[in-house]
Structure 1
Amino acid sequence: MCRPRRTERKEVNVMKFPRFPLPAMPALCAAAGMLSGSAAARAQDAADGWARALPGWRYEFPRDHFTHRDFKTEWWYVTGRVRAASGKRFGYQFTIFRRGLRPPLEQAAVRSHWVVNDLPLGHFALTDEQGARFYYQQRLVRGAFGEAGFPLPGGGAGQSTAATGTDTRLAWIGDWAIGLTEEGSFSVKALQPGAALDLQLRPRRQPVINGNDGVSQKSGGAGNASHYYSMPRLETTGTVTVEGRAEPVTGLSWLDREWATNQLAEGQIGWDWLSLHLSDGSDLMIYQLRGKDGKADEYSSGTLIGPDGAVEHLTHRDFSLTPVPGHEWRSVKSGGVYPILWQAELPAKNLKLEVRAVLPDQELALNPVSYWEGAVDASGTRGTGKLEAEGYLEMTGYSGALKALRE
């Protein structure tokens, strides 16, 4: 039974902005003679000048860790669960979004430090599980004069790679940053009043491509999709600081990368996204897009990664993610009512899990859109064997429908 615990909230909202105001950028061309992801998208650019996410994208790394200026929206999304030697457990979310304001051809026509082409937005949240405290902050800056950056790989277009020490920053807003080392590891650095992160993330798996034929379809129609990959099992070390006390930590993290221009359709009001590291060495990601009737639609999808790294794409027919009635938490800030106990099932895999929030109140109450993103634990069975899992759950559209991804 999921029993709510009282949560102490520490929120700081700096220049409030919607939950998903995302960006735009270009992909570099693939090898000569091949149709690159960028070329495939440009072949059907709309009249507004932005590329669409179309089938045939060929992912290249480390290129695709960097920005994609041809597209209007983009994010670097990291979640993780870590432990200190003292036994304390923490969950964290660190995200940098970019929302394109001017398409590439317009960007090239104007060269000025005063003119901005994108809006950078950051979210950083930390869950102190034993202390029952939830910290979060939002940052939005204009992005001019080095306030924020989304450099191209190797520099280019007037931008440097912004190397700092052994890291190359992929995206940053002030002193918040996600970086990439020459060895292929990632770094995450962020701080807010009462909480800070300084983490190193080492991949234990190759990048996992979500969806089919290079796209993750979100609604009907060409281009209503994203290019979407995950780094699902990142060995994590570093330091978490809470109320001035720094503690070394270890654990696992998950990085999601998406870029797109259009995604949601009019009838879709939000989604539920779940990522889990299972005790048998498997990794699971599922998301369900919800309609106005609250039901999951046909574009819900997921990915199952086996202990050996084998990847299976999941359609909406392959899984169910169902809230357990009577286990909800109501936000006094947004009025949203969020399920905090779920049943996840993959019938063909004989996999059944109960997913429960470690704290009921892990809502980022922002203006004008609030959402719930927090640490979850899970337990259940796969066939006759028992399983445990840790991960993250995101719930959107419970305190108002999302509109930004339809634009």
Structure 2
Amino acid sequence: MVCCLGALAGGGVWAAGGGGFAGLGEEATGFAEVTPGRTFFFPADLGAHPDYRIEWWYVTANLKDAAGEDYGVQWTLFRQALEPGPQREGWASQQVWMGHAGLTSRETHRFSEAVARGGIGQAGVSAQPFAAWIDDWTFASDSTAGDGLASATLSATGADFSYALTLKSVRPMVLQGDNGYSVKSDHGQASYYYSQPFFDVSGRVTLDGREIDVTGRAWMDREWSSQPLAPGQKGWDWFSLHLPDGEKLMLFQLRSDTDAPFYAGTWIAAGGHATPLDRGDIVLVPLRTHDVAGRQVPVEWSVEIESRGLRIATTPLNPESWMATSFAYWEGPVRFTGTHDGEGYLEMTGY
């Protein structure tokens, strides 16, 4: 859910400390607006939407090796338009790109960041066949059938880690919020938001030159907007959880300096049917904080969804899962126990 492109603008559109986390609450005059009732088309909506100011392609994966050891993988590509208006070619392009890659184990957390200017081929996204890339990091379909993501490959390389994975799913995309219209505040901010939470994964990760075969599950999020946050919203806590029997749960709270937290979530049946959760049905309580990069970050949580009889506690695979990127945040795999047992990912910003 995170977007962190302000560094590419030299502080321009997004400046740290203003307009909500990473400037995502700044006014976006001249850019396209997010409104209810949009119809989504696939694979077209896998591609970029340059009339909107911000956009991201986001994949997280919970993985195991043959010995049962756990790993987590993150792959993200962000796009930001520095100014509205007709799209320009080459070096004149107003699009900038940033990539984040992470690999987490119980003992270590590795990450890398890449930046690029649009218009010169260094980074970009095509819809059909789907391909998203920045430098040699890629997330690309190897199928032209259906929605374009029945089978895909995912790869990235950092200074001391890499991964190359195959993702497969026969499920359709899941529209979050009100048929893809995801409200983020009581002041009307929103994004277009859909997910593919049903990927099966196989492939290989590499840590310090050691190659490790892995299998597991992955979750893709796609969002675009021009102003997804209210100015006072300083950060969020976002969960993507794989429940027993194939069900999925997405939920988040947006924290504010001026308003009560804003909650939203979606309960996803094993067959893919999505049911938005009532805001009053979501209870998130920090259980334990951990000192990460000189900040107290709540790495363990109690999560309750009364209507679904869910009461769980989450614990991180590695509490040191800090992404010390241009806009720093915590992102890592978690496990949970209680009325439901499973695994997933947690992202926390603004701490």
TM-score normalised to structure 1 length: 0.76
In structure 2, how many angstroms separate the alpha carbons of the residues matched to 1:309 and 1:55? 21
In structure 1, how many angstroms separate the alpha carbons of the residues matched to 2:55 and 2:322? 22
Do the aligned partners of 2:13 and 2:82 also contact (CA within 8 Å) in 1?
no
Do the aligned partners of 1:69 and 1:104 also contact (CA within 8 Å) in 2?
no
Tell me the alpha carbon deviations over residues 30-68 of structure 1, each in whole angstroms, 9 at most, x when there is no partner: xxxxxxxxxxxxxxxx99431111011101111111111
Do the aligned partners of 1:198 and 1:238 also contact (CA within 8 Å) in 2?
yes
TM-score normalised to structure 2 length: 0.87
1:247–1:21 Cα change, 3 Å: farther
In structure 1, how many angstroms separate the alpha carbons of the residues matched to 2:172 and 2:80? 28
1:263: Cα distance to partner? 1.3
| 1:349 alignment partner in structure 2 | 308
| 2:111 alignment partner in structure 1 | 136
Aligned residues: 328
In structure 1, how many angstroms separate the alpha carbons of the residues matched to 2:28 and 2:139? 33
The within-5 A match list for 1:110-129 is: 110-111=88-89, 113-129=90-106
Q: Secondary structure at the match of 1:81?
A: strand
In structure 2, how many angstroms separate the alpha carbons of the residues matched to 1:293 and 1:355? 28
In structure 1, how many angstroms separate the alpha carbons of the residues matched to 2:57 and 2:69? 27
In structure 1, how many angstroms separate the alpha carbons of the residues matched to 2:69 and 2:214? 9
| 1:171 alignment partner in structure 2 | 132
Q: Which moved more, 1:80-89 or 1:70-79?
A: 80-89
Out of 53, 58, 62, the residue aligned to residue 77 of structure 1 is: 58
Q: Secondary structure at the match of 1:317?
A: helix
Structure 2 alignment gaps of length 5 or more? 1-5, 15-26
1:362: Cα distance to partner? 0.4
Q: Secondary structure at the match of 1:338?
A: strand
In structure 1, how many angstroms separate the alpha carbons of the residues matched to 2:201 and 2:30? 39
| 1:394 alignment partner in structure 2 | 347
Q: Which has the higher strand share?
A: 2
Tell me the alpha carbon deviations over residues 256-275 of structure 1, each in whole angstroms, 9 at most, x when there is no partner: 00010011112211110001
In structure 1, how many angstroms separate the alpha carbons of the residues matched to 2:343 and 2:8? 30
1:104: Cα distance to partner? 4.0
| 2:125 alignment partner in structure 1 | 150
Q: Secondary structure at the match of 2:341?
A: strand
Q: Secondary structure at the match of 1:348?
A: helix
Identity across the alignment (%): 37
| 1:226 alignment partner in structure 2 | 191
User: What one-letter code is carried by the residue in structure 1 that aligns with 2:39?
Assistant: R
Q: Structure 1 stretches (4+) deviating beyond 4 angstroms?
A: 15-18, 20-23
Do the aligned partners of 2:63 and 2:216 also contact (CA within 8 Å) in 1?
yes
Do the aligned partners of 2:101 and 2:111 also contact (CA within 8 Å) in 1?
yes
1:319 aligns with 2:282: yes
1:328–1:259 Cα change, 3 Å: same
Structure 1 alignment gaps of length 5 or more? 1-14, 24-45, 155-167, 382-386, 399-407
Tell me the alpha carbon deviations over residues 162-183 of structure 1, each in whole angstroms, 9 at most, x when there is no partner: xxxxxx4532110011112224
In structure 2, how many angstroms separate the alpha carbons of the residues matched to 1:246 and 1:314? 41
RMSD of aligned alpha carbons: 2.4
In structure 2, how many angstroms separate the alpha carbons of the residues matched to 1:365 and 1:260? 24
Do the aligned partners of 1:82 and 1:251 also contact (CA within 8 Å) in 2?
yes
Q: Secondary structure at the match of 2:303?
A: strand
User: What one-letter code is carried by the residue in structure 2 that aligns with 1:119?
Assistant: V
Q: Secondary structure at the match of 1:345?
A: strand
| 1:31 alignment partner in structure 2 | none
| 2:229 alignment partner in structure 1 | 264
1:212–1:144 Cα change, 3 Å: closer
Tell me the alpha carbon deviations over residues 273-326 of structure 1, each in whole angstroms, 9 at most, x when there is no partner: 0011012321000011111279522xx2111112333321013112111111xx
Do the aligned partners of 1:302 and 1:313 also contact (CA within 8 Å) in 2?
yes
Q: Secondary structure at the match of 1:329?
A: strand
1:319–1:22 Cα change, 3 Å: farther
1:343: Cα distance to partner? 0.5
